[in-house]
Amino acid sequence: MQRVLVIGCSGSGKSTFTDALARHTGLPAIHLDQHYFGPGWREPAQELWRQRITHLASGEHWIMDGNYGGTFDLRIPRADTIVFLDVSTARCLWRVFWRTIRNWGRVRKHSPPGCPERLDWHFFHYVANYNVTRRKRILSRLATAEAEGKTVHILRSPSGVQRFWAALGG
């Protein structure tokens, strides 16, 4: 395990999982939101974003958390392990809601500088529809990645995450 993708809906626990895995393995954590957004939640041009991803994925050792499905073609070939936190919509919405309330007006630990937590209905809509609009494609892409020799872990519950840690010896 040298290059690990951690994917899943917002609120699924990607950043928390990534930080714990980084502590356990010593691999550096890359939180893609910190590289994507500029101050004021400004989004980069698509070509610039793909260049950033190419650069980030070129490293020999990393744990990279974030969805950004439009860059799976750049990241999955470089990864040797993929962890999909396949969490229910209700759990993700609940976590995003409380994360927003707890951090209102402040920049969270894994958010980029100049991006304070805010109420964003478009974002809540994205979370509410993630499993309906994206999950099937992700599972299909992960089946392909597994057939190509990647190690894929699909963790659907807290007990699944605990089994993952137990298998790692942590």
Total-model pTM: 0.94
Tell me the residue length of the chain. Answer: 170
Q: What pLDDT, on the 0 to 100 scale, is given for residue 55?
A: 97
pLDDT at 69 over 70: yes
- Domain coordinates in residue numbering, the chain: 3-168
Q: Of all residues in the chain, what percent carry a pLDDT higher than 70?
A: 99
Q: What pLDDT, on the 0 to 100 scale, is given for residue 151?
A: 97
Q: Would you tell me which CATH number, out of the four given (3.40.640.10, 3.40.50.300, 3.40.50.620, 1.10.10.60), belongs to the domain 3-168?
A: 3.40.50.300
Q: What pLDDT, on the 0 to 100 scale, is given for residue 169?
A: 85
* DSSP character string of 11-73: TSSHHHHHHHHHHHH-PPEEEHHHHH-BGGGBPPPHHHHHHHHHHHHTSSSEEEE---GGGHH
